[in-house]
Structure 1
Amino acid sequence: MRRRCGFALFALLLACAGAHAETLRMAADVWPPFTDARLPGNGLAAELVSTALKRAGHRAEYVEVPWARVLRGVQVGEYDLVVSAWYSEERARFGQFSQPYLTNRVLFLKRKGTVVDYQGPEDLKRYSIAVVRGYSYLPSFDADTTLNKVPVMGFPMGARMLAAGRVQLTLEDELVARSYLNRELSGIREQLEFLPRPLSENGLHILVRRSHPRHRQLVEAFDQAMQTMREDGTYQAIFARHGLPSP
């Protein structure tokens, strides 16, 4: 009965969405394997999101720009939604978050041969850390002004600075970091290693601009479509197509 009611609700939402079908501009930065125009379906996250939006009766147009422009574009109405966003109160002021549709495990990386003792937040004060400008990693980490955080434009820059000894740590989602290290950063892959303790495990959401007149309905329809994708195997099939195990 519970499953049948869920499908009935989704059918109702889909019918309502059909009356307001539109092309939605969804923005992301280059963040393989989740978002990258060079990958099938523009990446795992982009394919999951565009499939869910299609089920909700919309056409998704993928736009790939630097992260700072992604956030700015949603705030000014240039884009309708962010494909892959971690929750923060600041972003919630200008966008409506969906339920999480993926989970990211954020790990620190260091240079091999260096000693880094990371057991908790206080230990980080001793190190310089490359962080991507505009990213939200963990609210307490983001807000900690006592840390020596070095802003960079993206993870590849931070990783290269780490390999060159210009910083002592950088951090990224484990799958994202491994994707870069297996591809464009393969030349420095053997110089870096992960710390075992994660900084955080973050839910990945879409973020729909609050200036959109139907932002709440869009998020509700997206959440329900994603749930039906999990139930009918579409969600798992997209993971398999990208060579990744589904949760």
Structure 2
Amino acid sequence: MPRLHRAFALIGLLLLGQSASAEKLRLVADVWPPFTDATLVNGGLATDIVSTALARAGYPSEFEQVPWARALMGVGEGRYDVLVNAWYNDARTQLGQFSAEYLLNRVRFIKRKDAPLEYQDLKQLHEYPIAVVRGYAYSPEFDNDPLLQKVPVHNFAMAVRMLAADRVQLTLEDEYVARYYLARESPRVRNAVEFLPKPLSENSLHILVSLKNPDHAKIVAGFDREIAKMKADGSYDRLLREHGM
């Protein structure tokens, strides 16, 4: 009889383990270093902050890295629970619930050093082809300006190489992301380009929790609560330092 009890107990533990594993939130993001990248420590700065805050709120998680369009579609369809790195726009509220801001991104234009371009407002840029990453939201003003000549590309690396090769006149990206990629480009590309002084925008970064998850409101509330606590107890700043910020 004791052996039978032990067998039932073992089966129960296995079932509990499977259940706990199944309850993990499925985090998703594209490759966007230094914020999200499976090759970086804990998946990058944003992934580390998000998974830490969710764990503190009682939600263990697992991270998967896929292309941006697939990540966004997967959240809308419920295949993923949490998009790690979302800028706010109205259309995405049809797919998920946004958290409060947990990071800030400063988007800046980049030009070739030999190009005498100046930028005070977007009207000055209407005549220039601008490389943009497909599916990204930069700012409402930029995204909704029909006179801007936007050239869709797959990623920032492609955009900046096109810029250095004089195939477009401008590109744009979060400053930290751009510096991360430029440090890994050839000197020919890196030394050919520079930032314009005025930023396009400062965009708050959020998680986007799938509306298909019945607990989406609870998840967002728990995440926001723990981010505030992390900022108060110093653990938020510690993560920033650990990721070189």
Normalised by the length of structure 2, the TM-score is: 0.89
* Aligned twin of 1:133: 134
Q: Where does the alignment leave 5 or more consecutive residues of structure 1 unmatched?
A: 1-18
The 10-residue stretch of structure 1 (124-133 or 184-193) with the greater mean CA deviation from structure 2: 184-193
Cα 1:42/1:185, change in 2 over 3 Å: farther
More off after superposition, 233-242 vs 181-190 = 181-190
Residue segments in structure 2 that go unaligned for 5+ positions in a row? 1-19
Query: Aligned-pair RMSD on alpha carbons?
Result: 1.4
C-alpha contact (below 8 Å) 2:78/2:211 kept by paired residues: no
Could you tell me how far 1:190 is from its partner in structure 2?
0.8
Cα distance in 2, alignment partners of residues 186 and 155 from structure 1: 16
**What is the aligned partner in structure 2 of residue 168 from structure 1?**
169
Aligned to 1:100: 101
Measure the CA separation in 1 of the matches of 2:46 and 2:107: 16
Q: Percent identity of the aligned residues? A: 56
- Superposition deviation, residue 186 in structure 1: 5.5
Following superposition, the deviation at residue 131 of structure 1 comes to 0.5
Aligned positions of 1:1-40 closer than 5 A:
22-40=23-41
Question: Does the 8 Å contact 1:31/1:176 carry over to 2?
Answer: yes
Q: Kindly indicate whether the alpha-carbon contact (under 8 Å) linking 1:129 and 1:167 is maintained by their aligned counterparts in 2.
A: yes
Deviation sequence 1:144-192 (CA, Å, 0-9, x none): 1111000011111111111111100000000000011112455511111
Cα–Cα, structure 1 residues 216 and 186, in superposed 2: closer, same or farther, change >3 Å? Answer: farther
Match for residue 240 of structure 2?
239
User: Residue 155 of structure 1 corresponds to which residue in structure 2?
Assistant: 156
What number of residue pairs does the alignment pair up? Answer: 225
| 1:8 aligned partner | none
| Kept in 1: contact 2:118–2:196 (CA 8 A) | no
Q: Which has the larger radius of gyration?
A: 2
Q: CA deviation at 1:22?
A: 2.6
CA distance in 1, matches of 2:217, 2:25: 14
Cα distance, 1:92–1:172 mapped onto 2, change above 3 Å = same
Q: Which amino acid aligns with 1:148?
A: Q
Q: Using a 3 Å threshold, how does the CA distance of structure 1 residues 185 and 76 change in structure 2: closer, same or farther?
A: farther
Name the CA distance, whole Å, in 2 between partners of 1:60 and 1:164.
42
**What is the identity, as a one-letter code, of the residue corresponding to 2:180?**
S
Note the alpha carbon deviations across 1:69-91, whole angstroms, 9 max, x for none: 11111111111111011000000
1:189 is matched with 190
List per-residue Cα deviations over 1:4-23 (Å, max 9, x = no partner): xxxxxxxxxxxxxxx9x930
| Contact map agreement 2:128 2:169 (CA 8 A) in 1 | yes
Displaced runs of 4+ in structure 1, greater than 4 A?
184-187
- Note if contact 1:25-1:61 (Cα within 8 Å) is conserved in structure 2: yes
The answer to whether the 8 A contact 1:106-1:199 is kept is yes
1:156–1:185 Cα contact (<8 Å) kept: no
Shift of 1:123: 0.8
The residue type paired with residue 167 of structure 1 is V
